[in-house]
Structure 1
Amino acid sequence: MNSAGILADAFERIHEAVHAAVEGLPPQDLNARLDGEANSIAWLVWHLTRVQDDHVADAAGTEQVWFAKDWVSRFELPLEKGSTGYGHSSAQVGSVTVESGDLLLGYFDAVNEQTLGFVRGLDGRALDRVVDEAWSPPVTLGVRLISVIADDLQHAGQAAFVRGALERRQ
């Protein structure tokens, strides 16, 4: 398997984990917080998708799906239009609510499709391209993609944990 195949497999695993955490849940469970400071499934999945959309679009030189497909209007969030959730306060986390899992999964699937289209076309040399010089050392495409994968898997796992905790309460 080449590097493009490995990256595509990783993003496909994120897809499976996100769908497993969201599918079949009513809005009250998607928006529930285990305590007043906890992240909801809605926020976790929205955030991991926003970060993936932002970072991969930047690296690919494309427009974010959030704007290109007008997901920003569909979500109708009381946040800055370009917000990704990074550094959100508890109140901002609580403001990310959805009326159905279809909204979350629709946005996630659109971002995942764009991501897979990009990573499947990469070769090993492309992964060495510097995509962010604001860090020391500068961030390469390979490092950026692994960072997105790690972050997405962590948040998908957190969403799965929240789902499990909510199901045990019932």
Structure 2
Amino acid sequence: MNCAGILADAFERIHESVHAAVEGLSPEDLNARLDADANSIAWLVWHLTRVQDDHVGDAAGTEQVWFSQDWASRFDLPLEKGATGYGHSSAQAGSVKVASADLLLGYFDAVTEQTLGFVRGLEGHALDRVVDDSWSPPVTLGVRLVSVISDDLQHAGQAAFVRGALQRRR
């Protein structure tokens, strides 16, 4: 398996984890917070998807799915249109509410499709390309993709934890 195959496998695992955490949940469960400052499943999945969309879109030189497929209007959140959730306060995180699992997974699936299309096409030394020189050392495509994978898996695991906690409450 080459590097592109390994990256695609990692993003496919994120896909499986997110679907397992979200499928079949009501809007009430998706938007529930375990305490006043906890992140909801809706925020966790929206955030991991927004960051993936932002970071991979930038590295691939493509428009974010959030804008190109008009997910920003479909979600209609009380946030800046380009918000990704990075640095959100508790109140901002709490303002991310979804009307359905289908909406949340629809956006996530669209971003996953674009991401997989990009990473499956990577060849040679593509992962060595610098994609962000505002850091020291500069961030390469490989480092950026591993960072997105790491963050996504952590947030998917958090969403699975919240789902389990909500189910135990019943």
| Class of the TM-score when normalised by the shorter of the 2 chains | over 0.9
What residue is the counterpart of 1:122 in the other structure? 122
Query: Aligned partners of 2:123, 2:37: CA distance in 1, in Å?
Result: 42
Tell me how far 1:123 sits from its aligned partner: 1.7
Secondary structure, aligned partner of 1:59:
helix
- The match for 2:83 is 83
Q: 1:53 matched to which residue of 2?
A: 53
1:165 equivalent in structure 2 = 165
Task: Give 1:44 shift.
Answer: 0.1
Q: CA deviation digits over 1:101-157, x for unaligned, max 9?
A: 000000000000000000000024000000000000000000000000000000000
Equivalent pairs, count: 170
Question: What is the Cα deviation at residue 168 of structure 1?
Answer: 0.5
Letter in 1 for 2:67: F
- The list of structure 1 runs, each at least 4 consecutive aligned residues, that deviate by more than 6 angstroms after superposition, is none
1:69 match: 69
Name the amino acid aligned to 1:94: G
Give TM-score, length-normalised by structure 2. 0.99
Q: State, as a whole percentage, how many aligned pairs show the same letter.
A: 85
State the distance in 1 between where 2:75 and 2:28 align: 16
Q: Could you say which residue in structure 1 is the equivalent of 2:153? A: 153
Aligned 1:14-33 pairs, distance under 5 A: 14-33=14-33
2 CA distance for matches of 1:129 and 1:3?
A: 14
Q: Which residue of 2 aligns with 1:34?
A: 34
**RMSD, matched Cα:** 0.4
Cα-to-partner distance string for 1:49-94 (whole Å, 9 max, x where unaligned): 0000000000000000000000000000000000000000111001
What runs of 5+ residues in structure 1 fail to find an aligned partner? Answer: none
Q: TM-score, normalised by structure 1?
A: 0.99
Query: Deviations 1:16-66 (Å, cap 9, x if unpaired)?
Result: 000000000011000000000000000000000000000000000000000
Q: Structure 2 stretches of 5 or more lacking a match?
A: none
> Partners in 2 of 1:98 and 1:111 — Cα distance?
17
Return the alpha-carbon distance in structure 2 between the equivalents of residues 80 and 124 of structure 1.
38
Shift of 1:99: 1.0
